[in-house]
Amino acid sequence: MDYNELLEMIKSRRSIRRFKPDPIPDDIVDKILETARWAPSCGNSQPWELIAVKKQTVRDEVVRMLDDDYRAKDKEPPAGPAQAQLLILICYNPENKPPAWLGRLVDSMFYSSLGNAALFMSMAVTSLGLGSQWVSHIADPSIEGNIKELLGIPAAWEIFDMLAVGYPDVAPKPRAMRSFDEVVHYDFY
Ligand SMILES: Cc1cc2nc3c(=O)[nH]c(=O)nc-3n(C[C@H](O)[C@H](O)[C@H](O)COP(=O)(O)O)c2cc1C
């Protein structure tokens, strides 16, 4: 892949929040998950643990917990997770955090590593003609414990984020991105 192809793919990755009911073949699911394994992480710690929820009944239960929690907070639940054919939870064991002497860098290094895994998978999703939505609310303390229990995730672990994945049923409107000149500063700000 050359630079222009890469840039086009980066530009074409969008958050998708409406999905078709088409199932995702198992080999496609694994292709998505495989890319997370290759994400860069601090000290090559590879702190991610991925739970790929494929079964409809389990997905329904995750979505029910999510939606109930939104409603308990007087918020409208998002449509995407219920329509998605795959939910990927990115989890971690806090014991794998970088050493404490790194101070305020501990969290930034750790969470960027986990974010890289999520980003790699969302790029893979795009390259395979699917779409994904980050669902950060899954890690809210008001729901995280129940989700962990449902999915058999060890109590000591934590959930970082979730990707809801499916075949897009929407073409998102172009979004405004800050200009190159506004963002880039050569040599000095
Ligand atoms: C760390 C992170 C958390 C996000 N959490 C959510 C979320 O909980 N729900 C959601 O609908 N989108 C979520 N998003 C998607 C952003 O809203 C989206 O990336 C942004 O609006 C830009 O749109 P685009 O992805 O289509 O380029 C998240 C994105 C990131 C990087």
- Domain CATH for 151: 3.40.109.10
State the chain's maximal CA–CA distance in angstroms: 55
Q: Is 138 in the pocket of ligand 1 (CB under 6 A)?
A: no
Q: Is 133 in the pocket of ligand 1 (CB under 6 A)?
A: yes
Examine the pLDDT at 126 and tell me if it is beyond 90. yes
Q: Is 162 in the pocket of ligand 1 (CB under 6 A)?
A: no
The residue whose CA is least distant from atom 16 of ligand 1 is 15
On whether residue 37 sits in a domain, the answer given is yes
pLDDT bracket for residue 1 (50, 70, 90)? confident
List Cα–Cα distances, 26 to 37, 65, 72, 100, 145, in angstroms.
17, 25, 35, 40, 28
On whether residue 179 sits in a domain, the answer given is no
On whether residue 187 sits in a domain, the answer given is no
pTM: 0.97
Bin 187: left if φ > 0, else alpha if -120 < ψ < 50, else beta.
left
d(CA 17, CA 5): 25
Query: Cα(134) to centroid of ligand 1, in Å?
Result: 6
Mean pLDDT of 69-94: 97
Q: Is 123 in the pocket of ligand 1 (CB under 6 A)?
A: no
On whether residue 73 sits in a domain, the answer given is yes
Task: State pLDDT tens for residues 4-29.
Answer: 999 999 999 999 999 999 999 999 99
Q: Is 136 in the pocket of ligand 1 (CB under 6 A)?
A: yes
Q: Considering the chain, what is the average pLDDT of its residues? A: 97
Domain count along the chain: 1
d(CA 72, CA 81): 17
On whether residue 183 sits in a domain, the answer given is no
- Sequential DSSP letters for 28-83: HHHHHHHHHTTS--GGG---EEEEEE--HHHHHHHHHHHHHHHHHTT-PPPSHHHH
Structural domain harbouring 138: 22-170
d(CA 90, CA 32): 13
The residue whose CA is least distant from atom 30 of ligand 1 is 134
On whether residue 14 sits in a domain, the answer given is no
Token pair for 3: 């630079």
Amino acid in position 120: F
On whether residue 159 sits in a domain, the answer given is yes
